[in-house]
Amino acid sequence: MTSSYFRFPTIHGDNVVFVCEDDLWSVSATGGIARRLTVGLGEVSYPSLSPDGKHLAFSSNDEGATEVFVMPGEGGSARRLTFGGHLAHVVGWLPDGSGIVYSTEASQPFSKTRALRVVPVGGGESKRLGIGLAVYLSFGPDGGRVLCRNMDDNAMWKRYRGGRAGVLWIDRKGDGEFERLLHLEGNTVRPLWIARRDAAGSLRDSSVPCSARAPIDERIYFVSDHEGVGNLYSCDLLGQNLIRHTAHEFYVRHPATDGLAIVYHCGADLYRFELSTLQTVRLDVRTLSSRPQRNRRFVHADEFLEEATLTPSCDSVMLTTRGQTFVMGFWEGAATHRGRGSGTRQRLTHALGDGKHWVSVVDDGREEALEILSASDVPPIRLDKLDLGRAVELRVSPVADAVAVSNHRHELWYVDLRKKHAKLLDRSDFERVDDFEFAPDGRTLVYAIDESPTGSSIKLVDLESGEKHWITRGEFRDSGPSFDPEGRYLYFLSHRDFDPVYDAQTFDLGFPMGMRLCLVTLQSTLTSPFIPMPHPIDDDKDLDDKASDEVRELLRLDAEERADLEDLPLIIDFEGIELRVELFPVKAGQFGRIAGVKDKVFYTSFPLEGTLESEWTGEETEEGVLKAWDFEDNESNPVMTEVIDFDIGEDCKTLLVVCEDRLRVISSHHSMEKDEDDDEPGRKSGWIDLERISVEVSPGDEWRQMLREAWRLMRDNFWSEDMSGVDWQATYERYAPLVDRVSSRTEFSDLVWEMQGELGTSHAYEYGGDYRLSPAYEPGFLGIDVSYDEARKGFRIDHIVQGDAWDPAASSPLLRPGLGVVKGDVITAVGGVSVGPRSTLQSLLVNKAEEEVELKIAAAKGEPRVITVRTLGNEELARYRDWVASNRRFVHEKSQGKVGYLHIPDMGPRGFSEFSRGFLMEAAKPALIVDVRFNRGGHVSPLILEKLARRRLGYDVQRWGGPLPYPSESVDGPIVALTNEHAGSDGDIFSHCFKLMKLGPLIGKRTWGGVVGIWPRHDLIDGSTTSQPEFAFWFQDVGWAVENYGTAPDIEVEIRPQDYAAGLDPQLERGIDEALQRLTENPPLVPDFTGRPDRRVDDRFSHRKRSK
């Protein structure tokens, strides 16, 4: 019998509760047959039995966000207790069992940062514990506490040593004075404060002060990987007498205790560590489950569409969805499966010229390989002897059974399918070769290749001789080459328009519309197609309207004969070809693809738009417009909107248009003017009904294939060939057997994270995928903090989040004009429902995101009134704005206006936006604090550093206004940067380079330590993405040393739990002090505008003086 995948155990006496198949189960502490406690649609995690064992708290996303629930310890109905709308992980219980402690992102100004709160077991408003950022907490017998910051599971990035490694703080006496407990060179998580018990199970004389007890009586147990693998350790209350208790090969994860034993999971098994004997036993647990999430099911093609192409006959479409290939007529006929079934993945599938065979990249559990498949019962021909790497693009020859393939190694190959032979055509030293196409005669291949980190050119290779020719060279970024089907022109896209646009906010110029449509005349005798030729006034350009049947037949035969003349090579005059590049008379823009038919060129155009509300990865969005340039009319016209991409059939008349999750077939003569507003699939509209395809999915088979592919993707794309010394093959062999124990998509994700974590490297992620759907009741938010007022029978408003009052998405809706709501007012009803001590404000706003809601408000004076507000769908931005504004006020007040303050939340578009917004005003002050704490990374750090390094050199002085600094937007005085352990990736890089460039002191804590960058572009079969650390960062001073360590500040300043409790920010205060001190020591230059030029004529040369 295959065992299951066990996680998150908790224990009380003989009752062990754990998670399996996304549900809760109960089993004896000695093992045996388990009993299922929940049957939910969501995922359950972090169960915790109460001190008396009567209640069971757990986290679940059964209604949307992961929240806290509680149920009887032996099972039964569950009640939801929290409604924060953000991640909430159960940590444990108050010692008296009255409340549940949990860590949550709710009410935080930053995502992925958690603080501890407690919610009454009977329900009601939760309260902050007031000890700052933390993820775990355990209580001692005398009111003492030990907490863990940063991480509660160290298995996802094994042997992590960066600034965000788990650290333990202990309050030994329960008086709120915390100290660091340990200083191990490892990642220390999940502390458990355990007081040894006597035989009767009672605490050993708890009235005796902690300091008077022998160290063996009370110990802190925890997980640490300072010796290489996460195992269970313990120390005394002083952080001494360290003992290791386990020696597993897999990491010990999520230990929990009842004071007599510790249970944990490790390598998908459950273990119990007996405190009385200090011995570990594996629990033999059987779930006797039918494992329903592994059951076969069917999905529609549009949900997991990967690629689609036209067949050679141009009457059908061949598409790949969920790793399986299908062929079907556009609007009629059956959809035919052309693959192996679930568990085998096909990619880059294309029909060959005869229409009876197709080629595909197939993963059947071995290495990926090209396969030639047939509609008959002939076994596929597998070309597994060819070392083609991981194919990323594939094109089929128009005249031969051959394909061109590019791979992850930046290589371009030509593969003769009949001879099973491959020839390396070219390789780029900089990036993958993605854009290539066969010439109409199949004898040559044109492609774009990177010649430098910033430039790419168009190149052509003779497939027989291997001779290469440059079509363009070096100066620009040229891409997307394609041939005119009649062999006259070569089309391509080029970033070669340098018409600068002034920035609207800052003094800067850019080239947002720098792309042009280009063509090259392939024969030197061809004239430009954009120069109109003279013709008679009555000459009708539409020959088809007037031509006789004989002329039509002649034209038809001529075209057919040309198509049959395979032995007639395409003529290209290479001499001077780079001088024959012409620009289409189309304004510069942002374009996606260009391809031609007879006398017409199609291309996709994308609008210029901001990046805060859209994708900034460079991927095309559904906002594209398909346009056509008509050479006869010499004009461009729109063909279709909301387009991502398109493909032209071999008949040069049929277009397959790709939209977000739909396909449409149109004629090359299609006009948007005649386009009817018809979304129904069919021949009239051109839309293809993808629901005609039903894809069979066998999750267990898929997970096995996906794990292997994730492992292989890492092997092929990891930045260092030696995998940083990790035996990656042995790693797979250790983790692969566990996949058959997986019974849910959540468990599979956990397995992938653990396996990839063995590399000990940042940015090894897995996200997305096909999860079991649960209801999502999105809560509304009011942007306020409240507490229940027993006397006034309502929720007293303790704080209103101001944020940007002018932006409805970034401030509390209670601040809208005319409402008159102030701090201290009480909300007594929401949506007509009166509130009570056991209810919560957020519980009354469930499923009311961005909706109008009535609130009954009782002010300190006057009659209660009813107001209507529109709730927020998310309040993180409002709380972030509030946090920044509070910091800025504090800096201005404490420095008496001498120091400016700005915060950068990430190094992406939002971070650049926040920096630019703050820099314009704050840099004008004598000194500046740049706060990158909690910076989540990105890629814009060089742009920000460049501006911060701009020093003031002079002034423009005017008569009626004040002097203007030169360079504009420059800093004149000292700069101080704040960083912390939550600043990572490009936040690491910024912090390190700030020091390297000597821009000022760096204050705070050592940063995250993750600077091996990624380019997520590899989806698994169910739509999930795994990232491979591909771009390792090397610095001129420390080499590779920032990765898995971080950058240390010049001045280290800790924020202790008691600082958070007191509302203090020592890091910000030290930043102000340093800025003021530097202002005193090196004040900015005070310009002396006296001694202005005297332009009068010298008296010695005065005409008047000489005349006297």
Three-state SS sequence of 158-174: CCCCCCCCCEEEEECCC
Give CA–CA dist 1016/1011, Å, rounded: 15
Are 28 and 286 in contact by the 8 Å Cβ rule? The answer is: no
Find the helix or strand (DSSP H, E) in which 704 lies: helix 699-717
Give CA–CA dist 676/518, Å, rounded: 32
Pair type for strands 927-931 and 865-870: unpaired
The contacts of residue 101 (CB under 8 Å, 6+ apart) are 90, 91, 92, 93, 94, 116, 117, 118, 129, 137
Read off the amino acid at residue 564. Answer: D
Q: Could you say which of 763, 903, 982, 1018 is catalytic?
A: 763
Which segments in the chain show pLDDT lower than 70?
A: 1-2, 197-216, 535, 537-568, 614-622, 1101-1108
Give CA–CA dist 491/493, Å, rounded: 7
Three-state SS sequence of 794-863: EEEEEEECCCCCCCHHHCCHHHCCCCCCCCCCEEEEECCEECCCCCCCHHHHCCCCCCEEEEEEECCCCC
609 flagged as catalytic: no
Are 926 and 1079 in contact by the 8 Å Cβ rule? The answer is: yes
Please report the DSSP string for 462-498 in residue order: ETTT--EEESS-SSSEEEEEEE-TTSSEEEEEEE---
The contacts of residue 91 (CB under 8 Å, 6+ apart) are 46, 48, 101, 102, 103, 116, 135, 136, 137
Give CA–CA dist 241/334, Å, rounded: 73
Give CA–CA dist 374/361, Å, rounded: 14
Which residue from 288, 220, 285 is spatially nearest to 255, judged by alpha carbons? 220
Are 306 and 323 in contact by the 8 Å Cβ rule? The answer is: yes
- CA diameter of the chain: 124
Please report the DSSP string for 1080-1103 in residue order: HHSPPP-----S----SPPGGG-H
Are 758 and 731 in contact by the 8 Å Cβ rule? The answer is: yes
Give CA–CA dist 720/1029, Å, rounded: 9
Which two three-digit tokens encode residue 649? 């059939």
Preceding amide of 775 cis, omega within 30: no
pLDDT of residue 1099: 72
Question: How far does Cα 675 stand from its chain's mean position?
Answer: 37
983-1018 in b/e burial notation, b at 16+ Cβ within 10 A? Answer: bbbbbbbbbbbbbeeebbbbbbbbbbbbbbbbeeeb
125 flagged as catalytic: no
Which residue from 339, 300, 301, 332 is spatially nearest to 315, judged by alpha carbons? 332
Sign, CA dihedral 423-425-429-435, equals: negative
Instruction: Tell me the three state secondary structure of residue 18.
Output: strand
Find the helix or strand (DSSP H, E) in which 687 lies: none
Tens digit of pLDDT for each residue in 536-587? 766 554 444 433 343 334 334 344 543 454 456 789 999 999 999 999 999 9
Pair type for strands 1051-1052 and 1002-1004: parallel
Taking each helix axis from N to C end, the angle separating 1066-1081 and 876-895, rounded to the nearest 10 degrees, works out to 40
Are 107 and 931 in contact by the 8 Å Cβ rule? The answer is: no
pLDDT of residue 997: 97
Find the helix or strand (DSSP H, E) in which 892 lies: helix 876-895
Q: Identify the residue whose tokens are 């089929």.
A: 396
pLDDT of residue 551: 33
Q: Could you say which of 26, 605, 743, 985 is catalytic?
A: 985
What are the CA-CA distances from residue 571 to residues 443, 464, 465 (Å)? 11, 15, 16
If one counts every other C-beta atom within 10 angstroms of the C-beta of residue 667, the result is 10
Which residue from 643, 633, 638 is spatially nearest to 672, judged by alpha carbons? 638
Instruction: Tell me the three state secondary structure of residue 944.
Output: helix
Residue 610's Cβ-count burial label (10 Å; 0-12, 13-18, 19+) is exposed
Question: How far does Cα 1042 stand from its chain's mean position?
Answer: 22
Are 1011 and 966 in contact by the 8 Å Cβ rule? The answer is: no
pTM, full prediction = 0.93
Q: Which ranges of 93-164 would DSSP assign to H, the alpha helix?
A: none
Give CA–CA dist 886/247, Å, rounded: 49
For residue 453, report the phi and psi dihedrals to the nearest 5 degrees: -60, -20
Q: Identify the residue whose tokens are 């598409």.
A: 319
Region class of 1044: left (phi > 0), else alpha (psi between -120 and 50), else beta:
left
Are 400 and 415 in contact by the 8 Å Cβ rule? The answer is: no
Residue 539's Cβ-count burial label (10 Å; 0-12, 13-18, 19+) is exposed
What are the CA-CA distances from residue 438 to residues 169, 448, 457, 599 (Å)? 65, 12, 17, 19
First vs last Cα of the chain: how many Å apart? 123
Domains and CATH numbers, the chain: 134-257 (2.120.10.60), 697-767 (3.30.750.44), 784-872 (2.30.42.10), 877-1011+1046-1081 (3.90.226.10)
Which two three-digit tokens encode residue 1064? 């203090």
Find the helix or strand (DSSP H, E) in which 196 lies: none
Are 1022 and 772 in contact by the 8 Å Cβ rule? The answer is: no
Taking each helix axis from N to C end, the angle separating 941-948 and 909-922, rounded to the nearest 10 degrees, works out to 10
1043 flagged as catalytic: yes
What are the CA-CA distances from residue 1074 to residues 332, 896, 919, 1082 (Å)? 75, 14, 19, 12
Give CA–CA dist 929/971, Å, rounded: 11
How many CA atoms are closer than 13 Å to the CA of 674, on its beta-carbon side?
7
